[in-house]
Amino acid sequence: MFHIRLTTILAVSGALAFAAAGCGEDEAAEGSSSSSQSQDLTGSIRIDGSSTVYPFAQAAAETFMGQNPGVQISVGQSGTGGGFEKFCAGETDISNASRPIKDDEEVPLCEKGGVEYAEVQVANDGIAVVSNKSLEIDCMTTGELKELWSTSKVKRYSLFGPGTDSGTFDFFTDEINGEEGLTRKDYQPSEDDNVLVQGVAGDENGLGYFGFSYYEQNADELNLIGVDAGDGCVKPSAETIQDGSYKPLSRPLFMYPSAKAIARPEVKAFLDYVEQNQEQIASDAQLVAMTSEQAAKAQQALRKAEQ
Amino acid sequence: MSAIAAPIPAADRRDRWRGGVFRGVLLSCIVVSAAMLVTLLIDIALDGAGALSFNFLTNSPSFRPDVAGIWPALMGTLWLMAIVTLFVVPVGVAAAIYLEEYADPTRWWNRLIEVNIQNLAAVPSIVYGILGLAFIVRGPLSLGPVVMAGALTLGLLVLPVVIIASREAIRAVPPSIREGSLALGATQWQTIWKQVLPSAIPGIATGIILALSRAIGETAPLIVIGAASFVAFAPSGPDSIFTAVPLQMYEWISRPQEEFHQLAAAGILVLMTVLILMNSVAMWLRNKYESKW
Amino acid sequence: MDAVAVFGEPRKRRGEQVIKGLLFLAALLSVLTTAGIVFSLLEETISFFGDVSVTEFLGGTEWYPLFAEPTFGVVPLVTGTLLVSGVALLVAVPIGLGAAVYLAEYASPRVRRTVKPVLELLAGVPTIVFGYFALLFFTPEVLKPLFGEPLQGFNALSAGAIMGFMIVPTIASVSEDAMSAVPTSLREGAYGLGSTKLQVSTRVVFPAALSGIVASFVLGASRAIGETMIVLIAAGLQPNFTADPRKSVETMTTFIAATAKGDAAVGSTAYKAIFAVGTLLFVLTFVMNMISIRFVRKYRQVYE
């Protein structure tokens, strides 16, 4: 009896699974695009790269596919470096990057693979410096930040930050400490920004830095520290990141489409869609949109590549 | 336990006391493990049960947590598990049979194979990802980052588990069974197929359960071979781009929004259900073929 | 007695040979896999040692490959791995073995049939879940009250202990299978001579099943050394050179995982370090397994 019941359950679930595999539901969210896209685009687009740019790529892909159901877009998170590796091997169509492609290591790789590309900015991101709510620090100068993070002199805080392999780490150490990779050793590193939030919020001497969107989600548990780069104290916000007044911890985010990919109509349509709707997409992805100048520059780069 | 095996009552009071303590200690091991599992599941269920719904099962992932669903990931996982099983069971059991029944342990190549298998069981999953990328996605097989490539990579990862467990199961079959069969005129293969293997099925089933349990939750190798984190369609075949439930969960749990964390918890519940269903087949096999010598 | 009666029909014999060949190929796949792994690691590893000397790698105690002034001493990663795996086995072996003995010797078939799957469910929990459980529940709720200040938020103890629970099913299941397979005649003989259940379990069944039990340990240890996610999430990424499990550590696997998914540029020395550490991991487990195989062969009991 027991045997029969089990077999039946299995047969039914197996049948369900495989029969249904052929007709998966696909409820993409409604897009908010104003331009009309062709309904009969087909093809597939492979995107991979930075996990910071990933939410942007995903939001764009989802809303684009909502209007162009014939196109299948997939987005990976292999990291900026891993993304370029696959990109230069010709395995992906677009590479997401939280930093420009590296001249000494990655550009030659793409040359070797015969991959030509365009550098298109798509959004902005900021790094927030935060502390536990019990510490009432309103502002720190870049000099103070540098001393705090590049030497082990200041010991009164419990420090948290991204791991040495992350783009956020690279960027912060480059901008604040003066050299990429230069940092004190006695801080708690983590891969996961959520964990850093928890660390800072949970320790009364907690202080750390991570992506701005993670601060935004947890603003009521953290104390935001403004950065003074010589022009007064600036706190990060969508506006200050966008117009660059939150210095030096604002950075551009990129997508690198390959020349071969752009030649395909579905990829071109996708990139045009991204360019036209970048503000909405950035908002959906909880990133910071580009200024009109940045957008114009990106548009130019895209046009050039589309020739 | 048969009535014949019931122990003679311990005459010594000290023996009885010691026996009782021993039994208590053993039982506590089980209780602690079970308690651990229950705590874990309750923790997850509390987080995720709210997000479970029919829509969650049938929708595609989205940047909006309220419409996000797990369908493509679920299908990806099912496809992966199916191919992994089809690959790992015959190859694993065949290798185990060879090593236990045919191989001469004094030959160096057989010893090499043995050492290899045990070694491979300890190689971290991410190294299998590197292997898969180099040889299956690119290289000689050049399948691309598709379901088949993911399944083969995961299969290679868990193959040693199946081989080792199957070997132990086959080894535990008493030689008298084999000798009896051969004495009655059966060939070696007939003996294995009709006598040894059926008796070894419970142990083999255990190996398969452990292997699939491992494979279903793996994230790192799939990321390395290029499985996507966002895919809005279920795989249409072994040559499809894919994602899997653990990848989806990992993606959700890294997002800042709390709603996505709940989705991740719900995803875990779905995964565990699939695992239970899969393992019940193996368990049914195990119970059916159990025999006592 | 003619040759056919003794050796079988010639057709059957050839069929047997074909089968043997196929089975051999299946077993050979493991060698091919190893060869594949070695090849995929080799090129970058050799390139790595062009940048970093072997002595610095194997002897150095500072591992900061992505710092501005990078150092490549791998020792902290090795000690981190051993520390976490050690804690894991300390938890998994007694609990797993205890559970196995209970299931094999004391439990009724019905209890066994329900409890064993429950244990195996523990093995199916995705490792990410264990990792977050360790970090968000075990460390603050269980360990912090016990150890107080010296315990860091990320620590090897939490990761190791939870990993131990993950490994319990492996040890319990395989050991239990081994013990169940011990012929009842052995037990009956012992009982017939007046032994208690305790004595039968520890002195008769356990030694008879030793090969299977040790196999389960090796499988468990292998899993512990190769585990990535739990340690990545709960033990942090600080390459502390320490034997104190209350500190944060980085292991060989977490380094590989973090860097491979990170933003390190392909072709940089830090990227190549992934392959070098992978190779080291491979070599270390190889040595460990050689030792254990020798041990198992020496003590394996054949009881018929």
Task: Provide φ and ψ at A189, rounded to 5°.
Answer: -90, 150
Cβ contact B126–C260 (<8 Å): yes
Q: Which pLDDT value is given to residue C6?
A: 61
For residue C155, how many C-alpha atoms fall within 13 Å in the half-sphere facing its CB? 23
C274, pLDDT greater than 90: no
Q: Which CATH number is C203's domain given?
A: 1.10.3720.10
Contact A189, C64 (CB under 8 A): no
| Residue C57 placed within a domain | no
| Residue C36 placed within a domain | no
C206, pLDDT greater than 70: yes
| Residue C195 placed within a domain | yes
Q: How confident is the model at residue C78 (pLDDT cuts 50, 70, 90)?
A: very high
Q: Which pLDDT value is given to residue B4?
A: 58
DSSP annotation of A33 reads -
Nearest residue to A61 (alpha-carbon basis) of A216, A271, A300: A271
List A residues 65-124 in contact with B (Cβ-Cβ < 8 A).
65, 72-78, 82, 86, 89, 91
Output helix, strand, coil percentages for chain C, rounded to the nearest 5: 75, 0, 25
Residue whose entry in the numeric block shows the structure tokens 């320790």: A203
Q: Cα–Cα distance between A300 and A56 in angstroms, integer?
A: 20
Exposed e or buried b per residue across B161-173, where buried means at least 16 C-beta atoms within 10 angstroms of its C-beta = bbbbbbbbbbbbb
Q: Which pLDDT value is given to residue B154?
A: 94
* Helix H or strand E segment including A130: strand A120-132
Task: Provide the ipTM.
Answer: 0.78
| Residue C248 placed within a domain | yes
Q: For residue range B140-184, what is the model confidence (pLDDT) as tens digits? A: 888 888 899 999 999 999 999 899 889 888 888 888 888 898 898
Nearest residue to B62 (alpha-carbon basis) of A33, A24, A29: A29
| CA atoms C198, C199, C202, C208: torsion sign | negative
Q: What is the CA radius of gyration of chain B?
A: 23
> Residue A54 has which token pair?
């990933």
Q: Which of A54, A96, A165 is the best substitution to test chain C (most C C-beta atoms within 10 A)?
A: A165
Q: Which pLDDT value is given to residue A4?
A: 44
| Residue C290 placed within a domain | yes
Q: For residue range B230-264, what is the model confidence (pLDDT) as tens digits? A: 888 888 888 888 999 988 888 888 888 888 888 88
Angle, vertex CA A64, rays to CA A63 and CA A68, nearest 5: 120
| Residue C197 placed within a domain | yes
> Residue B260 has which token pair?
């996505």
Strands A250-257 and A120-132, by their bridges, are: antiparallel
The DSSP string of C48-117 is HHHHS-HHHHHH---EETTSSS-EE--HHHHHHHHHHHHHHHHHHHHHHHHHHHIIIIIS-HHHHHHHHH
Nearest residue to B8 (alpha-carbon basis) of C180, C204, C188, C206: C188
Q: Cα–Cα distance between C109 and B1 in angstroms, integer?
A: 7
Mean of all residue pLDDT scores within chain B: 85
Q: What is the CA radius of gyration of chain A?
A: 22
* Helix H or strand E segment including A160: strand A158-162
Helix axes C210-226, C75-101, angle to 10 degrees: 140
Q: Cα–Cα distance between A279 and A276 in angstroms, integer?
A: 8
Among residues of chain C, what percentage have pLDDT more than 90? 13
Q: Which pLDDT value is given to residue A123?
A: 92
Total structural domains in chain C?
Answer: 1
Number of Cβ within a 10 Å radius of residue C141: 9
Number of Cβ within a 10 Å radius of residue C179: 23
List B residues 138-177 in contact with C (Cβ-Cβ < 8 A).
156, 159-161, 163-165, 167-169, 171-176
| Residue C294 placed within a domain | yes
Q: Chain B to chain C, count of Cβ pairs less than 8 Å apart?
A: 306
Mean pLDDT, consecutive 10-residue stretches, chain A (307 aa), reads 46 48 38 48 90 91 91 88 88 91 86 91 92 90 90 88 84 88 86 84 87 88 90 88 86 92 92 91 88 88 83
List B residues 254-283 in contact with A (Cβ-Cβ < 8 A).
254-258, 261, 277, 280-281
Q: Please state the pTM of the whole predicted model.
A: 0.80
C286 CB within 8 Å of a chain B CB: yes
Q: Which pLDDT value is given to residue A23?
A: 40
Separation in Å, CA of A153 to nearest CA in chain B: 32
Q: Cα–Cα distance between C35 and B152 in angstroms, integer?
A: 16
Nearest residue to B169 (alpha-carbon basis) of B245, B224, B114, B97: B97
B44, pLDDT greater than 90: no
B91 CB within 8 Å of a chain C CB: yes
Residue whose entry in the numeric block shows the structure tokens 């695009």: A33
Q: How confident is the model at residue B87 (pLDDT cuts 50, 70, 90)?
A: very high
The DSSP string of B5-61 is GPPPPPS-HHHHHHHHHHHHHHHHHHHHHHHHHHHHHHHHHHHHGGG--HHHHHSPP
Helix axes C109-124, B13-48, angle to 10 degrees: 40
| Residue C50 placed within a domain | no
Helix axes C156-180, B197-216, angle to 10 degrees: 170
Q: Report all structural domains of chain A as residue ranges with CATH numbers, in order of start.
A: 43-123+251-306 (3.40.190.10), 126-249 (3.40.190.10)
Domain membership of residue C273 as a residue range: 76-299
Q: Which of B15, B172, B250 sits opposite C196 (nearest CB)?
A: B15
Q: Report all structural domains of chain B as residue ranges with CATH numbers, in order of start.
A: 54-289 (1.10.3720.10)
- Chains in contact with B, where contact requires at least 3 CB pairs less than 8 Å apart: A, C
